[in-house]
Structure 1
Amino acid sequence: QLSKRMQSIQDQIHETSSQNIVVSVDRIFSGSARLDGDAIVAFVRSLCHVSMDELNSNLPRMFSLLKLVEISYYNMGRIRLQWSRIWEIIGDHFNKVACNSLQDVAFFAVDSLRQLSMKFLEKGEFPNFRFQKEFLKPFEVIMKKNSSSTIRDMVVRCVTHFVDSQAKNIRSGWKNIFSVFQMAAADTDAQIVELAFQTCTHIIGVVFDRQFASVLDSFQDAVKCLSEFACNASFPDTSMEAIRLIRQCAKYVAEKPQIFRDHAGEDLINVPEEDRVWVKGWFPVLFELSCIINRCKLDVRTRALTVMFEIMKNYGETYRQNWWIELFNVVFRIFDNMKLPDTQIEKIEWMTTTCNHALYAIVDVFTQFYNEIPETLVDNLYCQLKWCVNQDNEILAKSGTNCLENFVIACGQRFTPHVWERTCACILEIFRSTLPETLMTWRPDIESSGISTHNETTLLDRTDSSFDYAAVESASSQHNRMVLAGTTINVNSSTSDQQESILSNRLSPTNSIERSLKTQSDFHLFQILTIKCIVQLELIQTIDHIVFYPSTSKKEDLQNIAIAQKLTWFQAK
């Protein structure tokens, strides 16, 4: 009986001792709020080391990690400078833990960050402070370094929760939020992309409308985030909707220019007040649309191109001259050779669709805002027109001459003598660069080309002023058939000796390869010459229309034809 009582007393003493230890340990952490700035930093750094040792052991423990969360709660009321030093250490530790290979550990770290962030965001943030940006940085790091779909999905859900519940208190934290969503936009997981885009749609449609001033510092990040959604080829519907939201962002810029002018951020110290709306508003919108054009497939880039020029046409009247210069530096990148697709098929598609569409749109903008656009940009426009004409692409070449005609006819009355001089120089340069001079010297090899002497004479030695397109098409078709057949036959060979010579040459593999290459080279040259002839004809018509106007010129042509017909009739009688 005595031994039982002794055992009971010992158990009670042990229990009391354990409780005292637990309470004492808790007091260590709860009392950390009374430590001075240097002491708390040293304490937190040591606890992070212990926590990492626990997590790297054979049997991972999260005791110290849990205590780090508690310490964060206890010390969140410190002055911001002290708190920043503490969070720099704790945040870095959470970055590592959230990328742990054990998903339970990573999940706990992200969930702990979520709880701490909610508590921190409730406090709000004073203007010109950046503590929220520092506090939410771990979510960016985790999203960037952790490839687990589960953890990435959880990060997106945490950030979405912040937007839904604390949008009114978020200031500098918007940059982190858009950064997380930008990384989510490039994901292949449909659930992650859809959730992130839904939240972005809510921000643009609701938060921007209610508190645009508080999101202004992150406006560029928002547009860049939408651009990333538009460039995700796996979700075409999302791409189109993202472009629509970018257009909505342009509408906010147009409706709230004074907010941009009054906003003096750290990056706008040297920017004049009247240019702030351009630097922080218009330029990011138009630049990101140009990035979409350069990165995306045909349907998406066509939509982005249309929206970009819609914005320019709708709001261009508010643009200053120096803005136009920067804007067209971006727009003309569409014609940059270094940015064209590598493969020939994609390059041809780019020229006949995107470049062609952009060229007409650019001329429309020049025509609409000619008085506002600096005169120096006319030279840049002419450079692009000359580039288009010399790309060996018939559709683009025709568009170049047509756009030149449209521009001069629409704006010619407002040209200064200098612009007229540059216009004439441009036309003369296009004439010279597209002269089909090779027509005077080129003769196809009769044995290898398969184009008859009769056709050659018909095409190359024609002296009348008209250009026989039917003859070109006929010769081209014949030449195509020769190329596809892989062999050529001289239809005008008149002697058996010539035929035997051709036959013996064909028996040689080397001659066959050389003949095939020569045929292909001739056909390519023939296509280029055809395009140059067409451009020459288009230019002549362009000058005719510019000088005499299209309606007058056509009327005179009809009159001349009628007179010629009458003369022919009288001569016949």
Structure 2
Amino acid sequence: LSELSFDPRAEIRKVALKVLFDTLRNHGDHFSLSLWERVFESVLFRIFDYVRHDVDPSGEDSADQIGYNGEVDQESWLYETCSLALQLVVDLFVNFYKTVNPLLKKVLMLFVSLIKRPHQSLAGAGIAALVRLMRDVGHQFSDEQWLEVVSCIKEAADATCPDFSYVTSEDMTEDVSNGDETNDNSNDALRRRNRQLHAAVADAKSKASIQIFVIQVSKSQVSGDEAWIY
């Protein structure tokens, strides 16, 4: 069922996820912690392995790397299937929190790994899942668990800090100033640098947008008993 979440047919993907999570929800109260750990490690986290490691914001991923063939729209998987699977993981964790709460750190790291990816929709899905988890079971967190949450938010913030070093580098300035030369080699170099500059600015803008969401997540927790986070 987990593997069918990569089927090229959207309806098959949705049905596979529904049956998978319905089965876990209906029988999960009989699972031990060790069995739940195997389920999360070997079944649920595998659903996100491809996107956690191989998604390229330029859309130049290898189709067979991410488990697609030519018939599958990668964006459809990211926006629909991946987001749905994240919601179902959170719901499952909340439903069986008393048993699975020792797995909190691993679930948080799943969210952080998605937030770190240079893909805004994927990062947004990871942030939304983190918010839902804190909203639904945050009141049951111990001080140690809140420290894990805050550490993960900090890691996400550090990893998505916009990098403007290329834009302000001396090499970049020199290349632009030398662009007045008319020979073909200089023109090719200038075009290459312009493409690199455009990519660097686009990456910085994407990370800045993600940072805004991360900050909002942090601020949303500064209320009542959780005010000590700051």
Task: Give the whole-Å Cα distance in 2 for the aligned partners of 1:519 and 1:314.
Answer: 56
Q: Does 1:332 align with 2:45?
A: yes
Q: 1:502–1:421: structure 2 CA closer, same or farther, 3 Å change rule? A: closer
CA distance in 2 between counterparts of 1:424 and 1:431 reads: 10
Cα separation, partners in 2 of 1:448 and 1:344, compared to 1, 3 Å: farther
Q: Which has the higher contact order (CA 8 A, sep 6+)?
A: 2
Q: Distance in 1 between matches of 2:35 and 2:201?
A: 44
CA deviation after TM superposition for structure 1 residue 362, in Å: 1.0
- The answer as to whether partners of 2:118 and 2:203 remain within 8 angstroms in 1 is yes
Q: Structure 2 residue aligned with 1:443, among 154, 168, 187?
A: 168
Aligned partners of 1:433, 1:301: CA distance in 2, in Å? 31
What is the number of residues matched between the two proteins? Answer: 206
Aligned to 1:354: 81
Separation in 2, partners of 1:539, 1:339: 21
What is the rounded CA distance, in whole Å, between the counterparts of 1:531 and 1:361 in structure 2?
A: 26
The Cα shift of 1:422 comes to 1.1
Q: Name the amino acid aligned to 1:406.
A: R
Q: Distance in 2 between matches of 1:340 and 1:306?
A: 25
Q: State the distance in 2 between where 1:306 and 1:527 align.
A: 36
Q: Which of residues 385, 388, 391 in structure 1 aligns to 2:117?
A: 391
- Pick one of 421, 424, 445 that aligns with 2:147: 421
* 1:466-485: CA deviation from partner (whole Å, max 9, x where unpaired): xxxxxxxxxxxxxxxxxxxx
2:74 is aligned with 1:363: no
The 2-side partners of 1:513 and 1:306 are apart by 52
- CA shift for structure 1 position 366: 1.1
Secondary structure of the residue aligned to 2:150 is helix
Which of 198, 201, 212 is equivalent to 1:526?
A: 201
**Distance in 1 of aligned mates of 2:205 and 2:53:** 27
> Shift of the alpha carbon at 1:339?
8.2
Q: CA deviation at 1:318?
A: 3.1
Match of 1:420, SS state, is helix
- The one-letter amino acid paired with 2:27 is Y
CA–CA distance in 2 between the matches of 1:298 and 1:548? Answer: 44
How far 1:511 sits from its partner (Å)? 2.5
Q: 2:116 touches 2:160 (CA, 8 Å); kept in 1? A: yes
Change (3 A) 1:356 1:522: farther
Deviation of 1:382 (Å): 1.3
Percent identity, aligned pairs only, is: 23
8 Å contact 1:405–1:546 — kept in the other structure?
Answer: no
Give 1:432 deviation, angstroms: 1.3
Task: Report the CA distance between 1:387 and its aligned residue.
Answer: 0.8
Cα displacement (A) at 1:426: 0.9
The residue correspondences of 1:28-43 to structure 2 (distance < 5 A) are none
Stretches of structure 1 that go unaligned for 5 or more consecutive residues are 1-288, 450-497, 550-573
Shift of 1:374: 4.2
The aligned counterpart of 1:297 is: 8
Kindly provide the amino acid, as one letter, of the partner of residue 196 in structure 2: S
Is the contact made by 1:324 and 1:374 (CA closer than 8 Å) also made in structure 2?
Answer: no
Q: Which residue of structure 2 aligns with residue 129 of structure 1? A: none
Change (3 A) 1:298 1:517: farther
Deviations 1:227-250 (A, max 9, x none): xxxxxxxxxxxxxxxxxxxxxxxx
State the distance in 1 between where 2:106 and 2:9 align: 26
Write out the 4+ residue segments of structure 1 that deviate beyond 4 Å after TM superposition.
Answer: 337-343, 345-348, 444-449
The answer to whether 1:515 aligns with 2:194 is no
The one-character-per-residue Cα deviations of 1:470-519 (angstroms, maximum 9, x if unpaired) are: xxxxxxxxxxxxxxxxxxxxxxxxxxxx8xx75543xx332333223222
State how far apart, in whole Å, the 1-side matches of 2:34 and 2:114 are: 26
* CA deviation profile, 1:381-420 (whole Å, cap 9, x unmatched): 1111111011101011112122112111211111122211
Query: Amino acid of the residue matched to residue 396 of structure 1?
Result: L
Matched, 1:431 2:148: no
Q: Aligned partners of 1:434 and 1:339: how far apart in 2?
A: 16
User: What is the CA deviation profile of residues 150-184 of structure 1, one whole-angstrom value per residue up to 9, with x for unaligned ones?
Assistant: xxxxxxxxxxxxxxxxxxxxxxxxxxxxxxxxxxx
Quick one: distance in 1 between partners of 2:188 and 2:16?
46
Distance 1:502 1:529, change over 3 A: closer
AA at the equivalent of 1:332: F
Change (3 A) 1:509 1:356: farther
Normalization by structure 2: what TM-score? Answer: 0.76
Matches within 5 A, 1:465-476: none
